[in-house]
């Protein structure tokens, strides 16, 4: 019956309910008795599955799929969309008000955005993203969790559907230069960390910044797509993954706050660090052909075209740009 407890906790991470008992420890990242290598035993029906996340994305192996169009983001510009920020003991989670949604992007229907949370290593120099691209691990990764709108926020139903959840993954990397406290949206978000230093603490988020403000600088038309799972027990294989290619750039001091402010338990316990699952076996990944959508790429194509004739030019262009997709 242990797995039922674990399943209940997984749903707690998706959407906090009255059933969520914050004291119970069923899985963890760092104790030998419950770390990630024990998850296939704690929750064998899914964590031991064949469609598990996270994965290393091999950019050159991603199949082109023209159906991977842009998303529509509803209420991502709303500066009151964030409800509360919580230290769960495993991560920092921000719950969202109802009415925040995504659609498009080759998803089968509308999905409600329920919460986002973060994965990190140990400061900006010890990376802790969950997905890697061509073997590169980024300092942090933000996950926005979405559930099919037809389930009306009932994640118990959503995790039983192989596409019941849609996760948006955004890498976070260090902003170049020597800036601090940037961007302002991340300064605003991280200012709450000092209020949730111990496990179970939660404070409301005041109006002032939006999801779009946090996702600043990312071209959201460029992403990888694959079918995978939740990256924590019970690892349900119910997730349509979207991993955006461009990272959010956040100044080093703000990235460092995550691994130096929030703790796994009480004020005497250690800081929350290295909260990512190890890589799982590869899955088929697709991406859209956007090699000619950026200005620099089309300029390059055009110059080659002038030199080599238009037809040959576009061939060379497609060939030479594809490895960087």
Query: Does residue 267 touch ligand NAG according to CB under 6 A?
Result: no
Rounded to a whole number of angstroms, the minimum distance from the CB of residue 240 to Zn ion is 14
Return d(Cα 307, Cα 243) in angstroms, integer: 36
User: Which residue stretch of 6-14, 133-141, 208-216, 309-317 sits at the interface with ligand NAG (rule: CB under 6 A)?
Assistant: 208-216
Nearest CA among 176, 174, 175, 58 for reference residue 126: 174
The item of ligand NAG, Zn ion, none sharing an interface with residue 143, based on CB under 5 to 8 Å by kind, is Zn ion
Q: Is 94 helix (H, G, I), strand (E, B) or coil?
A: strand
Return d(Cα 229, Cα 48) in angstroms, integer: 11
Rounded to a whole number of angstroms, the minimum distance from the CB of residue 212 to Zn ion is 20
Burial 1-39 (b: 16+ CB within 10 A, else e): eebeebbbbbbbbbbbeeeeebeeebbbbeeeebebebb
Q: Rounded to the nearest 5 degrees, what angle is found at the Cα of 91, between the Cα atoms of 102 and 175? A: 75
The item of Zn ion, ligand NAG, none sharing an interface with residue 32, based on CB under 5 to 8 Å by kind, is ligand NAG
Binding footprint of ligand NAG, residue count (CB under 6 A): 38
Query: Does residue 143 touch Zn ion according to CB under 5 A?
Result: yes
Nearest CA among 215, 213, 191, 220 for reference residue 203: 191
Residues 9-28 that bind ligand NAG (CB under 6 A): 25
Token pair 């290393």: residue: 56
Query: Does residue 32 touch ligand NAG according to CB under 6 A?
Result: yes
Applying CB under 6 A, which residues contact ligand NAG? 25, 32, 35-37, 40-41, 44, 48, 65, 67, 75, 78, 80-81, 97, 99, 122-123, 154, 156-157, 178, 184-185, 188, 194-195, 203-204, 206, 208-209, 213, 265-266, 273, 278
């Amino acid at each position: 019956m242990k797995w039922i407890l674990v399943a209940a906790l997984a749903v707690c991470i998706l959407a906090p309910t009255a059933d969520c008992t914050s004291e119970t420890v069923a899985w963890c990242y760092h104790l030998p008795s419950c770390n990630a290598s024990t998850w296939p035993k704690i929750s064998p029906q899914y964590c031991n599955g064949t469609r598990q996340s996270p994965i290393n994305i091999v950019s050159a192996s991603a199949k082109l799929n023209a159906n991977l169009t842009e998303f529509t983001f509803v209420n991502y510009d709303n500066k009151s969309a964030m409800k509360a920020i919580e230290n769960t003991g495993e991560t920092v989670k921000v719950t969202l008000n109802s009415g925040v949604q995504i659609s498009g992007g080759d998803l089968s229907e509308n999905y409600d955005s329920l919460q986002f949370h973060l994965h990190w290593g140990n400061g900006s120099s010890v990376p802790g993203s969950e997905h890697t691209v061509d073997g590169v691990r980024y300092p942090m990764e933000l996950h926005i969790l979405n559930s099919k709108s037809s389930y009306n926020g009932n994640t118990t139903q959503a995790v039983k559907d192989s596409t019941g959840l849609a996760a948006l993954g955004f890498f976070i990397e260090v902003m170049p230069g020597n800036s601090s406290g940037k961007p302002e949206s991340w300064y605003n978000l991280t200012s709450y960390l000092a209020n949730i230093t111990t496990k179970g603490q939660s404070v409301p988020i005041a109006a002032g910044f939006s999801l779009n403000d946090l996702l600043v600088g990312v071209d959201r038309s460029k992403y990888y797509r694959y079918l995978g799972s939740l990256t924590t027990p019970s690892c349900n294989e119910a997730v349509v993954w979207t991993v955006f290619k461009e990272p959010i750039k956040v100044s080093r001091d703000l990235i460092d706050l995550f691994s130096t402010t929030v703790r796994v338990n009480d004020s005497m316990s250690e800081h929350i660090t290295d909260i990512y699952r190890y890589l799982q076996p590869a899955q088929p990944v697709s991406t859209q052909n956007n090699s000619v959508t950026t200005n620099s790429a089309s300029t390059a194509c055009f110059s080659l075209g002038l030199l080599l004739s238009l037809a040959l030019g576009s061939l060379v262009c497609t060939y030479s740009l594809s490895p960087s997709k």
